[in-house]
Amino acid sequence: MSAARAQRGTGTQVRLVEPGDADALARVLSENREFLAPYEPEREEAYATAGHQAGVLAHALAEHEAGRCAPFVVLHDGELVGRITVNDVVRGPFQSAHLGYFVAESVNGRGVATDAVAQVLALAFGDLGLHRLQAATLLTNSASQAVLQRNGFERIGIARNYLRIAGRWQDHVLYQRTA
């Protein structure tokens, strides 16, 4: 992908992950463990360590090199505050992928996620040449649903027992956006 960085005039920026992001990402995950827990799979304590995140980032970059994902960090006023990833890229006639993201509680509700999603949409439908992105939120995650709706995603249905989140299989609202 030629555009490793994207920015709007809001103080929010996305860029491709780098191996050196492991420490900052571990800090954000550790500091936001309770905030993120209701929306994430159950994680071992080690998940929020720099060593584990170094492995996560190395895997993400290898998947990026293979064309299967585009992993970004979310920066706000220069500080790493989250991740956003275009996952499960399928080429051929489908040209589609899944979108996943999180931001720290300290910037939640301030438009950071909305801006990050907008920037990644531009990259996905531009440099990546995708036609469609799909995203899923818990039924109760109205904040994330609003982020998607502000970015032109349309609700396409409910997926029963879609993901194992917070220790149990949970229903999700599915959204899509096409180029």
- Reported as a pLDDT band with limits 50, 70 and 90, residue 158 is very high
Mean pLDDT of 131-150: 97
How far apart (Å, rounded) are the C-alpha atoms in residues 114 and 159?
23
Residue 46 buriedness (CB in 10 A; 0-12 / 13-18 / 19+) = exposed
pLDDT tens per residue across span 73-104? 999 999 999 999 999 999 999 999 999 999 99
Residue 20's pLDDT band, with cuts at 50, 70 and 90, is very high
Q: What pLDDT score was predicted for residue 7? A: 47
Per-residue pLDDT tens digits for 114-128? 999 999 999 999 999
Using H for helix, E for strand and C for coil, what is the string for 82-131?
Answer: EEEEEEEEECCCCCEEEEEEEECHHHCCCCHHHHHHHHHHHHHHCCCCCC
Does the pLDDT at position 163 exceed 50?
A: yes
CA atoms of 157 and 167, how far apart (whole Å): 23
Query: Residue 154 is encoded by which pair of tokens?
Result: 């349309």
Mean pLDDT, the chain, integer: 94
Map tokens 């905030």 to a residue.
Answer: 35
Strands 132-138 and 96-103: parallel
Rounded Cα gap, residues 78 and 72, in angstroms: 14
In CATH, which superfamily holds the domain spanning 5-133?
Answer: Gcn5-related N-acetyltransferase (GNAT) (3.40.630.30)
